[in-house]
Amino acid sequence: MKQRAHRVLFWSIAFSGSLLDQAGKYIVFRWLYHDGHGGEWDIFPGVFRIVAQFKTADPNDHLLSPLRTWGGMIQPRVNPGALFSLGVTYAHVANITFALVSSLVVVGMVTWSWRRKSLQDHWLTVALGLILAGTMGNLYDRCVFGGVRDFLYFYWINWPIFNFADCFLVCGAGLLLAKAFWKVPAPEGQADTMSSSAGAAAESK
């Protein structure tokens, strides 16, 4: 019964997190579209703002075009690489590479979550649910937009622009790290999954 409850928690976090990420991206980029010129809105003046940047028009001749043009014909500026724009020099190759890594992470975590001895720890379940949510959120962007849409800007320290999915990945990885230092060792078979999932997800942004 406990394992079933943890599995429900895991999938609730994963799906709600990825939906929140996509809802945030679509809403912000439509709200700040401004005829494709983009815009910004200060949440905490001098510290933190929401920004929407755009690049070129979508040709509207692709199966995925309706998903890309809901906010307008001019497409959002995306990051095809990983965190801190790693790999952005080779945009197309980087996006495909990180999309493949993300796909492997998703498949691996989904498969693992249904194993009989998986998801027996509450905090491990939360951590992996957050990592899966962030991975799925950014994977959608890579498949549909050719890169990740970022809009959260902590400009007080000129931090690279990020999104909700990145927050989920960082929080999930942070929980795994905290658990490794302050909690008892994970049951057999979970430690390897924790390490591989966190590492691969972080690389794929």
* Side chain identity at residue 141, one-letter code: D
Question: CB–CB of 186/180 below 8 Å?
Answer: no
Task: Give dist(CA 197, CA 155) in Å, integer.
Answer: 30
Task: Give dist(CA 105, CA 194) in Å, integer.
Answer: 11
Task: Give dist(CA 111, CA 114) in Å, integer.
Answer: 6
Length of the chain: 205
Task: Give dist(CA 115, CA 98) in Å, integer.
Answer: 26
Q: Which residues are catalytic?
A: 150, 166
Furthest C-alpha separation in the chain: 55
Reported as type and span, the H/E element at residue 26 is: helix 2-31
Return the number of other C-beta atoms located less than 10 Å from residue 39's C-beta: 14
